[in-house]
Structure 1
Amino acid sequence: MPEPAQQIRDWLATYGSPTASVARLLCDRHPADAVAVTEIGPDLRPRDLTYGELAERSGRVAAGMAHLGIGPGDHVATLLGKGIDFAVTAMAVWRLGAVHVPLFTAFAPSAIAHRLLHPAVRLIVCDDDQRPKLEPGRDMPADPPWRIATTGGTPLREGDHTLASLAASGTAEPPAAAVGGDSPFILLHTSGTAGPPKAVPVPVRALAAMHAYHHYALDVRDDDVYWNTADPGWAYGLYHGLVSPLLAGQRTLQLRAGFDPELTLDVLATYGVTNLAASPTVYRSLRATVKTLPPEIAVRRLSSAGEPLGPDVVDWATDRFGVPVHDHYGQSELGMCVGHHGHDAVATDLRPASLGTALPGWSVTVLDQIADHEAPPGGFGRVAVDVKGSPAMWFTGYLGNPAATAARFTPDGHWFLTGDTGSRDRDGYLYFSSRDDDAILMSGYRIGPFDVETALLEHPAVAESAVYGVPDELRGQVVAATVVLNEGWRAGDELADDLRDIVRTRFAAHAYPRRITFAENLPKTPSGKIRRARLRRTG
């Protein structure tokens, strides 16, 4: 294989080409008899899908989607759990040159609705148990612009389709569309402190950055059994639980079950996993509940992403698994760009307190807290990406949101501001300090305070609310809220439980405030901005 800089250039030339076709790159060019996806049930029974079967099944579903009028540039959303149906649906969307919009299955209808506002959404494919969230009502329109297809054997509502009926309705399987490297093939949504979710278009050329991380940081080899535990409704699970292993022509494991430490160990042992990527919460949960490992477990690589990983977890993993956990850093807008790399060609010293160094294709540094120039080694400041010095950089802006886009770049366009703060030593190792935009990193999920505050304000008792993250030994951070009540309401445990329930039902089941305090007023700056840092210290 060429040296890393040349390899990045080669991948950019291929994935950035005007003739780039996602379905060909991720599926059709690979051996038909090689396994692409292994779906694992809660009982540990596997279902294998080969690349040939993925091509055939996604082709038939794509033909059915085309029969509905879906074509290049149209948006198709999925509300699906991990597994074969997710892979087939996503590949069908990409086969048409359409754009995949992943939705997290824990989202409530209001959160889903926020992510369906783009007018090009033409179809939603969902698991049967997710179908009720799409019913017309408070959040969903009575006459939606999209069709609905479910994964079960029969349509659940009049006018619905199923994946099977889509596959049977097309007249001819369309050829894999070539949309080119600059066209989006994924539309993700990410949340920050204020405002609704921001839409992140992911162009085909971003595959170069995904391939670089998969190869150089994760060090996934052809003889590895690779498992990424993250949910494909989020960036890490989609980029590196599905896209990058398919891009490399390798197999990905997809566990269709909720997280459980003992089940995680069973999968590692039963399937002989040699390369595991997971959030720090997974490792912390294993440490808290598991005393000994089954002798069948023999992992070669452990990787972590989503939130900073503590040195204590690295020490524990090294003691139990015999190998350390390699911490990695990235964002939905970047993919992964920094880490402790596993591949021999770029292997770095493991410094557990740090995030590692920039991946091939990236230049990441720390800027002064105020001026847009690099801080001296060891100086605290803003973590930023050198746009021109990072050939793997692909993000150019949020869809339909120029103000939010402008806030992420310096005025001259030289630097992309990650919104994180930290420091960088003389050897280029980055050290994380905090989120600059107050987003909460819990169990690998990025939760925007705005989304939770919006849900809380729907309760008649709430006059004002401020949501922030507080440290948690297991999850990294948990959601906390300080609430100001309207006149006539009394604070108490019963009301706090009601507020948690409204967040579960109006935003997402995983994002409810674990801690709720009541106050007469919220600390604010003279301009009216909430002082979340003060609340974090006292909440």
Structure 2
Amino acid sequence: MSTLELNSGLDERVAELVSEYSAPSACLAWLLCDRHPADKVAYDVLDSQGNTERLTYGELKRRSEAFSAGLASIGVRAGDRVATLSGKSVEYLIGLVGIWRLGAVHVPLFTAFAPPAIAQRLAGSKAKVAICDASQVGKLVATEGDEQPIAVTDLVVIGRDDTSLAGWQIHKFDDLAAEGRPKVPAAVLGGDAPFIHIYTSGTTGKPKGVVVPIRAIAAFRAYIEFGIGLRPSDVYWCAADPGWAYGLYFGVIGSLSTGVHSLLLKGVFDAAATYQILAERNVTNFAAAPTVYRSLMCSEVSPPQDLKLRCASSAGEPLTPDVNEWAQSALGTLVFDHYGQTEAGMLINNHHDPRLAREVRPGSMGISMPGWKAVVLDRSEDVELPTGEIGRVAFNLAESPLAWFHGYDAAPEKSAEKFSANREYYLSGDLGKMDADGAFFFSAREDDVIIMAGYRIGPFEVESVIAAHPAVAECAVIAAPDKIRGEVVEAYVVLRQAFAPSPAMAEEIQQWVKTRYAAHAYPRRVHFATELPKTPSGKIQRFVLRAARNAGLANPANSQKNADDCVDTFDTRIRSYLHGKP
């Protein structure tokens, strides 16, 4: 097949998806559930003890119909916001499809959120109802001095039935999901209707509301086909939490749109359980954040020898090259790095679709996905740069038929920052470069770049080198002010269990960077920590490291230590920002 024929075929598929999900007749219940064979497995929901709850598409249709009728009985209508503060469960899946069957809009809340983050999202989205695990109910209790009062009045509780909150109307999930009420016809609202109201993870600044229309599923489905390479015969496991965009867009919506057999695992990550599930469930297609792969790599658990993995994908943070040095032998396949955003879905990938597959290049996040046109713009002008030059990663909207984001909810100034002045380009907020073959390489967030004596240093390049050190589990680097150079590199390192912090280890890491990357870019100071600050979706929050560093330097008791000692655990200050302690 010629390149022209290949591109034509891919463009035709993109056009088909756009037409299907943008149609005025688009019905979410049909697109994600009702059109699939009733006896086909939708999900196996697993727990850490090996118990399984199986949900077929027929059961999902029947039970979500009953739940949508229950929601309608308490006044939920099309367009109303319904939040979920729930872990992975059969009830969670039934709740989602029930919400969408009514034409209501889902507001995802991650279960690790603290009460202020929950209150902010409930208030910002104007949620009318919250569906909540019984174990999470305490987070909805208003306390004196709360910045954001919780205005939701109806609470649907999954689990125990002894919940009581002043000012709330409490409903049992099982009661609302009971069959017997008159069925509510599935809403037919068309591709422009909203169905998700999600908030960005807030690596910088406050979270911003993104209202997702039904037609965005065209972009999600395209990624599932081209990037993930999902086949009807696959057993698919997206380990990302659906409280965040990647897990929701591609672990739930992408799966439901294809009718594939998927897995959900309750509870937190565990290396032994992950390997066991991959082996015993014959998972053929696996997607997870880089943190999961690095945790597997650094664990003491040996990978099974009988894995059936055909595809492994990574998204959320750039994948450091050392992971694939391990993955080929441990998992039997390379991990393909993918790049995207809450505001778009996935944009640039090392694609698993054989029509787009190419050799994985260390450090590359791949090529533009069909339906998107990625470019690199000058940092100060909206001019496309030649290959090899670092600039702003952007997307030409006239050549990106899968684009659907028009701006943040009630935030015009922040919305304007995501587009060029003439709205010709969508601006990712990230820096990178493109080679002559169209492969993109991530450099940094625009506000994370380190400028040292005129040199521009991208944190990811340095982090990739440090992460390859045999003692390092994970790391992050930031800029530190320097009187002579303007800024220098400082590193924050989490060591593997068999290694201990020491001045010798810090010096070894510094020499490692000098000899394997660049003499000028080595970290002038190395801090050791037991954890790094991250968003719940796994993105490193470098602004927390900068704030923790500044807090330490402002403390006279720490000033001499921070000035002279290259070994500083920083744990106290990092933890204070991670967990909100003064």
Normalised TM-score (structure 1): 0.83
Corresponding residue number in structure 2 for 1:331: 341
Matched position secondary structure for 1:222:
coil
Q: 2:155 aligns with which of 148, 157, 170?
A: 148
Change beyond 3 A, Cα 1:432–1:145? same
After superposition, the Cα gap between the structure-2 partners of 1:437 and 1:76, relative to the gap in structure 1 and judged at 3 Å, is farther
Letter in 2 for 1:8: V
Aligned with 1:269 (options 257, 260, 279) = 279
2-structure distance, mates of 1:112, 1:89: 19
Q: How far apart are the structure 1 equivalents of 2:119 and 2:356?
A: 43
Counterpart residue number, 2:504? none
1:384 aligns with 2:394: yes
CA distance in 1, matches of 2:355, 2:230: 13
Q: Residues 403-442 of structure 1: matches in 2 within 5 Å?
A: 403-438=413-448
Distance 1:368 1:118 in 2: 35
Q: Which letter does structure 2 place at the counterpart of 1:36? A: A
SS of corresponding position for 1:52: helix
Q: Given the superposition, is the C-alpha separation of residues 437 and 56 from structure 1 closer, same or farther in structure 2, using an over 3 Å criterion?
A: farther
Distance 1:314 1:58, change over 3 A: same
Residue 17 (structure 1) aligned to one of 4, 16, 23: 23
Please show how residues 441-456 of structure 1 align to structure 2 within 5 Å: none
Deviations 1:85-129 (A, max 9, x none): 211111111001010000110000011111112363111111111
Higher helix proportion (structure 1 or 2): 2
Aligned mate of 2:579, from 504, 527, 534:
504
Aligned equivalents of 2:376 and 2:570: distance in 1?
44
- Give RMSD over aligned pairs: 3.1
Listed one character per residue, the Cα deviations across residues 115-166 of structure 1 (whole Å, up to 9, x for unaligned) are 1123631111111110000012143877733311111142511631121121
Contact 1:366 1:383 in 2 (8 A): yes
How many residues are treated as equivalent by the alignment? Answer: 485
Cα pair distance change 1:371/1:341, threshold 3 Å: same
Pairwise CA distance, 1:80: 0.8
Decide whether aligned partners of structure 1 residues 489 and 161 sit closer, same or farther in structure 2, where only a CA change above 3 A counts.
Answer: farther
- Cα distance change of structure 1 residues 142 and 434 upon mapping to structure 2, 3 Å threshold: closer
**1:182 equivalent among 192, 197, 202:** 192
For residues 193-236 of structure 1, give each alpha carbon's deviation from its aligned partner in whole angstroms, at most 9, with x where no partner exists.
Answer: 66431001111001111111101111111111110100000000
**Alignment pair present for 1:319 and 2:325:** no
- Any residues of structure 2 matched to 1:461-472 within 5 Å, and which? 470=492
- In 1, the alpha carbon distance for the partners of 2:152 and 2:432 equals 45
Distance 1:365 1:49, change over 3 A: same
Give the corresponding residue for 2:520.
none
2-structure distance, mates of 1:151, 1:437: 41
Contact 2:367 2:440 in 1 (8 A): yes
Partner of 1:230: 240
Distance 1:489 1:354, change over 3 A: closer
Q: Which runs of 5+ in 1 are unaligned?
A: 443-448, 450-467, 507-511, 513-539
Sort the Cα spacing of 1:485 and 1:4 in 2 relative to 1 into closer, same or farther, 3 A. Answer: closer
Q: For the structure 1 residues 363 and 486, does the alpha-carbon distance in structure 2 shift closer, same or farther, using more than 3 Å as the test?
A: closer
What is the CA–CA distance in structure 2 between the aligned matches of 1:267 and 1:495, rounded to whole Å? 36
Letter of the 1:5 counterpart: D
Distance 1:360 1:485, change over 3 A: closer
**Higher RCO (CA 8 Å, separation ≥ 6 residues):** 1
CA spacing shift, 1:420–1:471, aligned 2, 3 Å:
farther
What secondary structure sits across from 2:364 in the alignment? Answer: coil
Contact 2:344 2:403 in 1 (8 A): yes
Matched, 1:42 2:48: yes
- Of the three residues 83, 107, 113, the one matched with 1:77 is 83
Distance in 2 (CA, whole Å) between partners of 1:140 and 1:149 is 24
1:278-297 to structure 2, matched below 5 A, reads 278-290=288-300, 292-297=302-307
Does structure 2 conserve the Cα–Cα contact (< 8 Å) formed by 1:192 and 1:437? Answer: no
CA displacement at 1:375 relative to structure 2: 0.6
Secondary structure at the counterpart of residue 241 of structure 1 = helix
Q: Which letter does structure 2 place at the counterpart of 1:134?
A: L
Q: Distance in 2 between matches of 1:194 and 1:278?
A: 23
Larger radius of gyration between Structure 1 and Structure 2:
2
Question: 2: distance between equivalents of 1:494 and 1:338?
Answer: 36
Q: Which has the higher mean CA deviation after the structures are superposed, 119-128 or 405-414?
A: 119-128
Q: Which residue matches 2:64?
A: 58
**Which whole-Å CA distance do the structure 2 matches of 1:205 and 1:388 have between them?**
17
- Judge conservation of contact 2:123–2:148 (CA < 8 Å) in 1: no
Q: Which residue of 1 aligns with 2:117?
A: 111
- The code of the aligned residue for 2:58 comes to G
Aligned counterpart, 1:67? 73
Mean CA deviation greater in 84-93 or 100-109? 84-93
- Report the AA paired with residue 87 of structure 2: G
d(CA) in 1 for partners of 2:203, 2:340? 18
TM-score by length of 2: 0.78
CA distance in 2, matches of 1:501, 1:169: 48
Provide closer, same or farther for how the CA distance between residues 10 and 28 of structure 1 changes in structure 2, counting only shifts above 3 A.
same
Question: How many percent identity over aligned positions?
Answer: 41
Deviation at 1:179, TM superposition (A): 1.4
Q: Deviations over 1:32-81 (max 9, x none)?
A: 11111110011122110011111111111111111111111110000111
Amino acid across the alignment from 2:347: C
User: Paired residue for 2:219, among 209, 226, 230?
Assistant: 209
Q: Secondary structure at the match of 1:24?
A: helix
